[in-house]
Structure 1
């Protein structure tokens, strides 16, 4: 009996881990260590569109993960990484740095539609050759109008921190979402339909 192929997940996100488990993918964590400045990769370039930004950051994360895999002397397993961002018009809303920034983001999203973009990249070796494939998932979310008290209570829950756009679709923010079009799992951080397609290209059963 052959061992099930393993994937190295280059992310510390509990949501991405949960989503991979959901589709039965065997993975090991290849998250950045304390010696790496992962946040530095997420700086937005002037005039950069949300699609260009999230795709570029995902490629940078993939390159860093390849170097990490080699440096740690790990087996040559396929590497999967992703990045998610929220775009309101031409503005990119990343992870809030503090409560005031979280409140400001939520106030901007209140009563409006925005886009959630998640880029996914996979690199694997086959027959002596290195292959890389990537995909971009774009979804639209509309928030109901939020009162200042609702925003304050949500920020006080702690859920907005570490989340692009200062909210988690799978958490308490769900009660404020009027409409969603696209990939629910993509909004969480890993679009499963597209990710499964990438994994199959690498010979990983899903």
Structure 2
């Protein structure tokens, strides 16, 4: 079923291959226009992820009048410390070392935005999943880093790529940990009327 058969294609304000894959699997038609908006970094996790998703969606919506834009942001948080994408493998090693043996939260915000006659409308929501990492040795962390390119992934890991090496348990939706909670996306698309 084409999920948006009665609407125009949405715009995905992200270049994330994982988000594209999840939308394609859900038969949601979309174009890709990545946001170049400046993200913020100085808020608590829940506010941070929501605000960055809104900024991304609205920045693309401003340039694409009358088109529905989906913006999203995913962060990993442990004890109110936010783990974004690592700058290099040294930082990735540090992140995985700090997360190993513990349960952290993955927050993904979804924001739908549309600019109509120059007036911006947007709605945002956040989904949380808890991920428990196995207790990992330094060697196991290095083996994982050889298995996955972690530099474009919040928290320096991908649940869908060799996740069994490091993840003990996920409480919540797996696709949320991947970067786009599809039940939330579908619900928002069904209930948003602008």
Q: Same fold judged by TM-score > 0.5? A: yes
Aligned residue number for residue 73 of structure 1: none
Say which of 42, 46, 52 aligns to 1:51.
46
Q: Distance in 2 between matches of 1:56 and 1:124?
A: 16
CA distance in 2, matches of 1:63, 1:17: 19
1:62, distance to aligned residue in structure 2 (A): 1.6
Task: Give the aligned CA root-mean-square deviation in angstroms.
Answer: 2.3
Residue deviations 1:99-154 (CA, integer Å, cap 9, x gap): 1000000001110000000000012468x986422110011000001111111122
- Structure 1: give runs of 5+ residues left out of the alignment: 71-75
Per-residue deviation, 1:67: 2.7
Mapped pair 1:27 → 2:30: yes
For the structure 1 residues 68 and 157, does the alpha-carbon distance in structure 2 shift closer, same or farther, using more than 3 Å as the test? Answer: farther
Q: Choose from 67, 70, 74 the match for 1:84.
A: 74
Report the TM-score when normalising by structure 1.
Answer: 0.84
Instruction: Work out whether 1:106 is the aligned partner of 2:103.
Output: no
Counterpart among 2, 15, 20 of residue 17 in structure 1: 20
Return the match for 1:120 from 88, 95, 110. Answer: 110
- 3-state SS in 2 of match to 1:178: strand
Q: Does the aligned pair in 2 maintain the 1:169–1:188 contact within 8 Å?
A: yes
Aligned residues: 190
User: Deviation digits for residues 74-94 of structure 1, max 9, x if unmatched?
Assistant: xx3210110000001110000
- Kindly report structure 1 stretches of 4+ aligned residues shifted beyond 6 Å: none
1:65 to 32, 54, 60: 60
Task: List runs of 5+ in structure 2 lacking aligned partners.
Answer: none
TM-score (ref. length: structure 2)? 0.89
Partner Cα distance (1:187, 1:175) in 2:
16
Separation in 2, partners of 1:106, 1:120: 26
User: Which secondary structure does the structure 1 equivalent of 2:143 belong to?
Assistant: helix
